[in-house]
Amino acid sequence: MKRTGLWRGLTSLMCFFLALSIMAGNILEANAATIDTYMGTQSERMESEGALYDKFKPSAELLNADGTGNSHALIQKAIDLNRRQAYEGSVLLKNENNVLPLASGANVTLLGIRSHKPVLGSAFGVKVWGPVINLEQALRDNRTDFAHTISDSASTNWQTGETTIAPTMDGWTGDEFDFDGAGYGVNPTMIDIYEKLLASYHHEYNEGAEEVFDPREPSLDDIAAVNADYKDSFTQYGDAAIVVISRASGESHDYLPGGVVPGLGMDEPLALSQNERDAIALAKECSDKVIVLINSSSAVEIAELKNDPEVDAILWIGAPGAYGMLGVADILCGKVSPSGGLFDIFAARNMSAPAMQNMGNFRYANADGTVVRGGGMFGGNTGMYIMEAEGIYVGYRYYETRYYDCVAGQGNADSKAGVYASAGNWNYDDEVAYGFGYGLSYTTFSFDFEGEPEFKVEKKDNGSVDATATFNVKVTNTGKVAGKTSVQIYGQAPYTPGGLEKSAIQLLNYDKSQVLQPGESEVVSVVCDLQYIASYDMSLNGEGGYVLDPGTYYFAVGNGAHAALQNIMAKQGLAVEANADNAYEREIDESFIERTAFSVSKTGEKIVNQIPYSDWNYFQPGEVTYLSRSDWAGTWPKTYDQMTLTNQELIDDLNGKYYTIATDDDTSDIIWEEDNGTKFFEMWGVDYDDPKWERLINNMTLEEAQYLATYGGPSIPGAETIGTVETYMTENAGNGVAVNLNASKDTGAPWNIAVSDPNGNWHPEVFGNSPLTASSFNPQLCYDLGAFVGEESLFTGIPILWGPGLNTHRHAYNGRNGEYYSEDPILSGVTAMEFAVGALEYGLIAAPKHYAFNDQETNRSGVAPYMTEQRAREVELRAYQYAFEATKYDTPEFDQGMRGLMISFSKIGPVECTASVGLMTNILAKEWGFRGYAVTDIYDDFDIYGAVLTSGATCYDTRGMAGFYTNTTLDGGRFADQVDGSVINAQVFAGDATAQNAIKASVHKILFAMSQSNLMNRYDPTTRVVKLPVVWRTAYQTAEYAFGALMVCSAVLYLVAKLRKKEEK
């Protein structure tokens, strides 16, 4: 009797464990690629019998003599490049009495808790991983202490409110590195105090913006409570006091207007708190040399420091990355003269930007019951919007244009509207602390136009016009130390009051000089594409287009936008003190170039309105007034917080009714399964327009093409008919590839870093935030950063990078400004283009994000930003246009272009960017000639499958999904809930010719991008995927066999016992 119970129980128990093992196995296999990334395992490998790895390889300096990878050299190169990023990008804003550089051997005191724990990266997004060099080490030491200096970050669970702080890496047992630091003595007393205070004032090297912000700066009482005699240390370390003020940046959260913890002595999150002011006051007690480091990716309100005579120097350092503090130290000690210019304008009060009138949480008054579309897997709310009523007046374009109109006495510029810092009427000097592009050096430079600028106009066969102006600027170092400087060329188009809106000044292009010795000169040539001084006229011929209004155009060089504008104004005879010789005027009329010449894109496409629905007034006329310089006071944006939806087209768009999948089209002329023998491995170097692509894609089955057009990575499906295999292919981010060296997806590469390598745990996301790169105004640095990340991609086996960020800064409160370059589209576009072209040198496809209009993180999953198409094109899209046309790198035989893109969560007007044919096909592909991989953001818009796959988007970001055709299929639950009621499966497009052709086009773009990437290192006719016996696979399979066998045994023994019992009876 007992035995039947025993075997019966064991049968049940073993059944339970067997089921558990099967369940675990299924989940592990379905997420194998992700598990590999995080565990550092390799569960499958691409194998081939041919000679491979002949198309892209790392530079020789990163390889050992036998061709294997040298991890030490790789990390050393990252250290050097991050250091260069920091010293080229940091911006010296103030340097009274030449207090900087500090003398060698100085003993300094670091103040402010962030001097001990500065912001190096973002809490989420472009995080800095692994070991770092902090400020005190860079100033004091000459060898890294990676083993004890690991970056960390906090994670807050929104459901429970619990915050945990954890290092980004368990520990570092790899190499340490020598470096030449500043050689200063650093006050150990304050370091010790701040270290102790970190226990209660939690800070991490990676932090993000917070809706209700507290800088968590200890008070002087807090400091005294740790060590009452701390001021005694100032005597020994009083050569200078360096205060660090930090504001963090990160994905998914913004700063919000008035969003501060009460009682801190601050009314806005980017203003200084009382404790921060007290830290600066303490610095004044400590030393007669007070230096403030602004450690932020957003404009901090520092007008009070600018005007404080006891604050001697201000140096903006961004979020400098893992090793960037070495570059900061280089500037402080004078090894390098600073040469950066501000990425954004630093207003006295950030709320004075007109965009701030409409930033944050806005929901349609009648959203409930009207906007019925669900929020999707991201859980967003589709009833949210923002009204970008500032029009084209974003960042410096607003402040400088209003300044110009104040001086020129037009448009009620000198009124009280928009006053936040002026005592009376609006006054530039009160409203602005430091202008866009501005930056000081330890030396001085003169700028002189060398000869007449060269204007060229060339009409192309396709109807487009190439028109450029080349400015040869002789830069002379007129100071006493060596230094380099950017050469920024700005332009002004003629404005007619009441006519088309135009900024009084805009950056056209820039370059940077070499390091010039005192007295040395260099002629820097800057080529400006005149299409970027044209304006978009939505009413042109009733269909829209760019115009270059006849009139007098002005161009100028200057230390930032304000100086350039003043030079132009001096040329115009307006009452300003500036150098008119640094401005140039040119009459441009139709004898030089047609007014509408730029209404044909470089691809020959006629440019017309493509996103009229971006404008709220398109649906409900007259309800929104956009800011106009014809009347600053009368059009100053109001806060549009109670918009009511009445137009049915608008409501339908918000509810996702964009596309209905056809069922009975004639698709007989669309070729699939041709079986002509063409394989993917043959496509290396084949031009996009080569008919061979058509033959390749004709081989595929519709199902294979649909898989490829659906699952955009990280794991991308294979297609047997063309010889491709499922591959883990994409990863984040803009500051490095998010895969550890020893977790490479391409372990077959000759340079693969072995799991046993002491530096194998190194994580390549180490570089500083994007504004730091942009502020360098150095295209070559941006190229070199992209090229290095490209090399990282060879070591990590990732051919597509989801980055860099390329949205323009609409205002300082966007929590993600650290991932985007600038408020200026040209600065952003040049920086991204150089990065991407550099990356492609090593076969890495950089996919800038988020195309487009991701202007705030608040409600980012589906917020509807409304704006004029002029604003959309001239401000936000222009950054992408510059990068994607990549004209600089075009030759008569080769169109450079870009090969990757990530689409925004955001809408444009009421239409999802992912589903906007105007945005994805007509502008991106037809106007700019984009040919490449265009993926949605993570899990975005799964409920409008037909619309997304036919818009010009090439695929979805399907992170975590793998095991295609088996574990992950087209008829799984991911696309279960469609707005149009359609059922998604492999046959859904059988009767839809439009969708089938769109899928062909998407597959063409994806495969073309892949064919130009370092993925081709791994392809030949024998390429296949082999599953490997990793720990977790062996474990679950062993468990399945063991528990299966035990269950069967138990069941048999139970039956035997049962039979015996019956026989006994």
Partner 1 sequence: MLKKFTAASWLTVLAAIAGIVGVAFMLKSSNIDTAYAYKTVSKLTLMGVCGVVLCLLAVWTPTVFGNHDIISTFGAVGAIALFMAVVGTMVSDRVLMIAGLFSYNSQNMVGWSVFYATVTGAVAFVLGCLLLIVASFMKNAKTVK
Instruction: Tell me if the bond preceding 848 is cis, omega within 30° of 0.
Output: no
From candidates 23, 523, 1031, 1056, binder to partner 1 by CB under 8 A: 23
Q: Is 390 in the site for partner 1 (CB under 8 A)?
A: no
1035 binds partner 1 (CB under 8 A): no
Of the candidate residues 92, 540, 961, 1003, the single one contacting partner 1 (CB under 8 A): 961
Site string for partner 1, 315-354 (x = CB under 8 A): ----------------------------------------
Least distance from partner 1 to the Cβ atom of residue 250, Å: 10
Q: How far is the CB of 5 from partner 1 (least distance, A)?
A: 6
**Stretch of 72-80, 634-642, 899-907, 957-965 lying at the interface with partner 1 (CB under 8 A):** 957-965
153: nearest Cα among 169, 137, 138: 169
Distance CA 803, CA 831 (A): 12
User: In the Cβ-directed half-sphere of 1006, how many Cα atoms lie within 13 Å?
Assistant: 33
The answer to whether 401 and 425 are in contact (CB under 8 A) is no
Q: CA-to-CA distance for 495 and 516, rounded, in angstroms?
A: 38
Return the H-helix or E-strand segment holding 900: strand 900-902
Q: Is 111 helix (H, G, I), strand (E, B) or coil?
A: strand
Q: Please, which residue, 284 or 373, has the CB nearer to partner 1? A: 373
Q: Any contact of residue 361 with partner 1 (CB under 8 A)?
A: no
How far is 951 from 999, CA to CA, in rounded Å?
10
Q: Taking the complex as a whole, how short is the minimal distance between the CB of residue 736 and partner 1, in angstroms?
A: 18
Binding of partner 1 at residue 312 (CB under 8 A)? no
For 488, the 3-state DSSP assignment is strand
CB of 488 to partner 1, least distance (A): 37
* Stretch of 151-159, 593-601, 737-745, 918-926 contacting partner 1, by CB under 8 A: 151-159
Question: Which alpha helices (DSSP H) does 409-453 contain, by range?
Answer: 428-431
Query: Distances in Å between the alpha carbon of 108 and those of 37, 111, 145, 182?
Result: 43, 10, 21, 11
156 binds partner 1 (CB under 8 A): yes
Cβ of residue 614: shortest distance to partner 1, in angstroms? 26
* 154 scored as a contact of partner 1 (CB under 8 A): no
Q: Which is nearer to partner 1, 7 or 442 (CB)?
A: 7
Instruction: Provide the 3-class DSSP secondary structure of residue 511.
Output: strand
- 959 binding partner 1? (CB under 8 A): yes
CB of 149 to partner 1, least distance (A): 25
Residue number, 9 or 519, with CB nearest to partner 1: 9
CA distance 643 to 362: 9
Told to check if 986 binds partner 1 by CB under 8 A, we report: no
- Rounded to 5 degrees, φ, ψ at 190 are -70, -35
Cα–Cα distance between 670 and 350 in angstroms, integer?
A: 55
> Does the protein bind partner 1 through residue 168 (CB under 8 A)?
no
Q: How far is the CB of 8 from partner 1 (least distance, A)?
A: 5
Shortest reach from residue 665's CB to partner 1, in Å: 26
Site for partner 1 in 102-131 (CB under 8 A): 124
Nearer to partner 1, 388 or 943 (CB): 943
Contact 785, 835 (CB under 8 A): yes
| Shortest Å distance, C-beta 16 to partner 1 | 5
Of 678, 696, 627, residue with least CA distance to 875 = 627
- Work out the number of other CB atoms within 10 angstroms of the CB of residue 1031: 10
Say whether residue 12 binds partner 1 (CB under 8 A). Answer: yes
Regarding 419 and contact with partner 1 (CB under 8 A), the answer is: no
Kindly state whether residue 943 participates in binding partner 1, applying the rule CB under 8 A. yes
Q: Does the footprint of partner 1 cover residue 1019 (CB under 8 A)?
A: no
> What's the rounded Cα separation, in Å, for the pair 187 and 918?
59
Helix (H, G, I), strand (E, B) or coil at 903: strand
Contact 885, 928 (CB under 8 A): yes
Give a three-class secondary structure readout of 349-418. CHHHCHHHHHCCCCECCCCCCCCCCCCHHHCCCCCEEEECCCCCCCCHHHHHHHHHHHHHCCCCCCCCCC
Q: Which of 147, 165, 365, 976 binds partner 1 (CB under 8 A)?
A: 976
Compute the distance between CA of residue 68 and CA of residue 49 in angstroms, rounded to an integer. Answer: 20
Q: And the tokens for 493?
A: 């188009």
Residue from 167, 185, 334, 375 binding partner 1 (CB under 8 A)? 375
Q: Is the peptide bond before 714 cis (omega within 30 degrees of 0)?
A: yes
In this structure, how many other beta carbons lie within 10 angstroms of the beta carbon of residue 489? 25
Number of residues that bind partner 1 (CB under 8 A): 50
Is 972 a binding residue for partner 1 by CB under 8 A? The answer is yes
554 or 1036, CB closer to partner 1? 1036
**Residue among 59, 252, 476, 647 that touches partner 1 (CB under 8 A):** 252
894: buried, middle or exposed (CB in 10 Å: 19+, 13-18, 0-12)? exposed
Cis peptide bond upstream of 733, omega within 30? yes
Rounded least distance, CB 155 to partner 1, Å: 8
Is residue 378 near partner 1 by the rule CB under 8 A? yes
Do residues 984 and 686 make contact, with C-beta atoms less than 8 angstroms apart? no
Residue 1049 found at the interface with partner 1 (CB under 8 A): no
Of positions 19, 103, 1025, 1052, contacts partner 1 by CB under 8 A: 19
Q: Which listed residue (169, 993, 1049, 1055) binds partner 1 by CB under 8 A?
A: 1055
| Binding of partner 1 by 521 (CB under 8 A) | no
Closer by beta carbon to partner 1, 409 or else 972: 972
Interacting stretch for partner 1, rule CB under 8 A, among 270-278, 552-560, 698-706, 967-975?
A: 967-975
Helix axes 1031-1064, 2-30, angle to 10 degrees: 160
573, 622, 691, 973: residue in contact with partner 1 (rule CB under 8 A):
973
728 is an interface residue for partner 1 by CB under 8 A = no
Identify whether the C-beta of residue 878 lies closer than 8 Å to the C-beta of residue 852: no
User: Which contiguous run of DSSP H or E holds residue 163?
Assistant: strand 163-167
> Any contact of residue 1 with partner 1 (CB under 8 A)?
yes
Q: How far is the CB of 942 from partner 1 (least distance, A)?
A: 7
Asked if 1054 interacts with partner 1 (CB under 8 A), we say yes
Q: Which of 257, 376, 453, 829 binds partner 1 (CB under 8 A)?
A: 376
- Within 10 angstroms of residue 519's Cβ, the number of other Cβ atoms is 10
CB of 2 to partner 1, least distance (A): 10
Q: Does 1042 bind partner 1 (CB under 8 A)?
A: no
Q: Which of 576, 938, 1030, 1049 binds partner 1 (CB under 8 A)?
A: 938
**For residue 286, which phi and psi values (nearest 5 degrees)?**
-70, -40
Radius of gyration of the chain (CA): 30
Per-position x/- string for 456-485, each x denoting binding to partner 1 as judged by CB under 8 A, each - no binding = ------------------------------
Q: Could you give phi then psi for residue 186, rounded to 5 degrees?
A: -120, 130
* Burial (CB count within 10 angstroms: exposed 0-12, middle 13-18, buried 19+), residue 60: exposed
What letter does residue 498 receive in the DSSP assignment?
Answer: T
Is 905 among the residues that bind partner 1 (CB under 8 A)?
Answer: no
Q: How far apart are the first and last CA of the chain?
A: 12
Stretch that binds partner 1, among 2-10, 236-244, 361-369, 478-486 (CB under 8 A): 2-10
Q: CB 463 → partner 1: shortest distance, Å?
A: 45
Residue ranges in contact with partner 1 by CB under 8 A:
1, 4-6, 8-9, 11-13, 15-16, 19-20, 22-23, 26-27, 30-31, 34, 124, 155-159, 251-252, 374-379, 938-939, 942-943, 959-961, 971-973, 976-977, 1051, 1054-1055, 1058
